[in-house]
Amino acid sequence: MGKQDHAFPIKGRVGKLTFYKTPLGHMVREARGVSADKLLNDPKFEITRQNMAEFGRAGKASKLIRDTLRPVIGPIKDGRMISRLSSVLMQAVKLDAINDPGLRNLVDGDLQILNGFEFNAGSFLASSLIAPFGSATDRVTGKISVDIASFIPKQMVVAPKGATHFQINLAGADLDFPALTGIASYSDTGLLPVNDLPTADIHLEVMLPAASVNPLITLLGIEFYQVALNGKVQKMSNGTFNSLAIVAIDKL
């Protein structure tokens, strides 16, 4: 390892040399690693290439889900959500028992492993909305629905301090993973007060393309609001307390 002796220290990589700073001064070392050609063609790296291919499919699927469902995922604040989602999707790909390693994919994998995925690790849906619910997917018509019997919000909603209102959100998505295209539809309850009065029975439904052959997923979430000083109701804490989870997956 050499020590850089120069009036204008360089940082970063120049050619095959990497310049960096340490407590002992500016250092330089030769960059090491596998060449791109060797990584792509050497038989010794076949398993690496297989893993890269499958990781790439999981990453693209993660982006597809996030892009398709951005209106409901956007208000969720979890800095590790993307990596967590990609990790679960990678597991789903590896559960493909039909194709050889390197060719495994989500369509032939086990998408059910996504059921129950929480988009906010700091606020789980089951911890925020205690009221029981049921979901249904009608693939023929494309209708996805969720029903929640009447409940008392102060007993069945765990609201953060200061919350005066909440809203329950339903989202359905039709995801074509090979084509990397998706269609989503949304519905919500509107603002409901956090009080001791029973709600009406809640029925939410969304419509997706009829007779689709793609995986259909159902997401349910809850958002919290508070009355501001000006009397207007506004969202709380930039999504810190919002919850969103995948509650059903339907796949042919």
Q: What is the pLDDT of residue 227?
A: 87
Q: What is the pLDDT of residue 48?
A: 78
pLDDT, tens only, 9-65 = 556 666 666 666 766 666 666 556 666 666 566 667 677 788 888 989 999 999 999
Q: What is the pLDDT of residue 179?
A: 96
Nearest alpha-carbon partner for 62 in 36, 94, 92, 20:
92
pLDDT bin (cut points 50, 70, 90) of residue 233 is confident
Q: What is the pLDDT of residue 16?
A: 60
pLDDT bin (cut points 50, 70, 90) of residue 84 is very high
22 or 240, which is more confident? Answer: 240
Q: What is the pLDDT of residue 92?
A: 95
Q: What is the pLDDT of residue 23?
A: 60
pLDDT, tens only, 195-232 = 999 999 999 999 999 999 999 999 999 999 998 878 78
Residue type, 165: H
- Contact call for residues 168 and 188 (beta carbons, < 8 A): yes
Q: What is the pLDDT of residue 40?
A: 63
Tell whether the model's pLDDT for residue 3 goes beyond 60. no
pLDDT, tens only, 124-182 = 999 999 999 999 999 999 999 999 999 999 999 999 999 999 999 999 999 999 999 99
pLDDT bin (cut points 50, 70, 90) of residue 235 is confident
Q: Where are the domains of the chain?
A: 2-32, 38-250
Q: What is the pLDDT of residue 53?
A: 87
- Provide mean pLDDT across the span 77-100: 93
